[in-house]
Amino acid sequence: MNSTVQAVLAATATFFLISALFAFICLVCKSSKARSRSHNHQPLPQRQTRGLNGHRTVPNSHLSSITIDESATFDPTLNRISMEELKIATKNFSADLIIGDGSFGFVYKATLSDGVTVAIKKLDPDAFQGFREFRAEMETLGKLQHPNIVRILGYCVSGIERVLIYEFIEKGNLDQWLHDTSPGSEQLGNLPLSWETRIKAVRGIANGLAYLHQLDTPIIHRDIKASNVLLDSDFEAHIADFGLARAIDGSHSHVSTQVAGTMGYMPPEYKEGVTAATAKADVYSFGILMIEIATAERPNLPMVLEGKEMGLIVWARKMLEQNKHMEMLDSKMAKEGLREEKVEEYFGIASMCTREIMMDRPVMSEVVHLLDRLAT
């Protein structure tokens, strides 16, 4: 056999060998893809979820990762209530029973089959934050026992639906009592709160926060504001809405990449890029709330002083510098018998809590002590 024939035969053999190898590789890849499709059935669609800064898209796989075995860390004493019972109690979540608009969900007043009147928060199933809020509340609020913190009684998990059931607090939230000027609100009993009642509410909030901050694993609420404080029939304050709450470690901070809270109540360090959850951030928000409770002015709206617009905290500092603390008080509130030195002391505590430098603010246990002295 001459060299030409040998070369042709060698080239032909090489061609068939490479072709066979290529066909084998294609067969393996096709088989792998088929197995993948059999496990996943079909590609999961993406769900639009509403975030704090508008809309963003979160793959469904992110949502499902939260739901897997999520009840494992919940308080076993909490009641798991069926969606069927909740639909009956709320008349299929009728708008007529809505008593509030919590973060990422409406709150309904309803009576369960055992006759207990409760507040039911149905979280938005399309909001990724709703899933996070459900887990945060179940893992924090479910384990807390304090007279100034709202109690969670049960929950419901049904498909993608998440519902939280709380004790019903009769008088609604503090924001309504401070700012509700709608026609007929006074006929419903929403008269301006007395100074004594405002002090009582402030002390209750302070006690609740001090309890949270002094736990073995401290909890930072991160969204202290008037609408997250509920008042019972005796006007005792109950801190609510723990959807943004975080437990912190021994360093007393929680690393976070997102700013949490509500405009007007957030501490100045957030503007400097500090996003860690700290107890001193709660203290600042509490100080702002103290000013709001006394003045009935909203922290997120501008104030006017000497023809200039400014934020509530800047206005308060300027007014206190001019010794105008009595003029700062809610104009609708009765002031007969009110002691001026007590008002000055009150705003002094609020000023301590809202100091610009985080480390200069007192801890909540110290604030409780100062408020106890104020009430005597």
* Residues tagged in the binding site annotation: 122
Residue 128 amino acid letter = F
CA gap 291, 200 in Å, rounded: 14
Residue 62 DSSP SS3 = helix
- Residue 259: phi and psi, rounded to 5, are -75, 135
In 3-state terms the chain splits into helix, strand, coil percentages (rounded to 5) of 45, 20, 40
- Residue 210: phi and psi, rounded to 5, are -60, -40
Active site residue 234: no
Tokens representing 74 are: 């919940």
CA gap 325, 294 in Å, rounded: 10
CA gap 253, 251 in Å, rounded: 6
- CA-based end-to-end distance of the chain: 118
* Parallel, antiparallel or unpaired: strands 152-158 and 79-80: parallel
Q: Residue 206 to residues 119, 212, 365, 369: CA-CA distances in angstroms?
A: 24, 10, 8, 10
CA gap 190, 207 in Å, rounded: 25
Residue 274 amino acid letter = V
Per the rule left: phi > 0, alpha: psi between -120 and 50, beta: everything else, 54 is left
Please choose, from the candidates 78, 84, 153, the residue with its C-alpha nearest in 3D space to the C-alpha of residue 121: 153
| Helices 364-374, 195-213: inter-axial angle, 10-degree rounding | 150
- Cite the annotated binding site for ATP by residue number: 122
CA gap 13, 284 in Å, rounded: 81
CA gap 149, 135 in Å, rounded: 18
Of the residues 223, 241, 282, 330, only one is catalytic, namely 223
**Residue 317 contacts residue 254 (beta carbons within 8 Å):** no
Q: How does DSSP assign 290-343, residue by residue?
A: HHHHHH---TTS-EEETTEEE-HHHHHHHHHHTT-HHHHS-TTS--TT--HHHH
Q: Give the residue carrying structure tokens 């009765």.
A: 334
Q: Which residues are catalytic?
A: 223
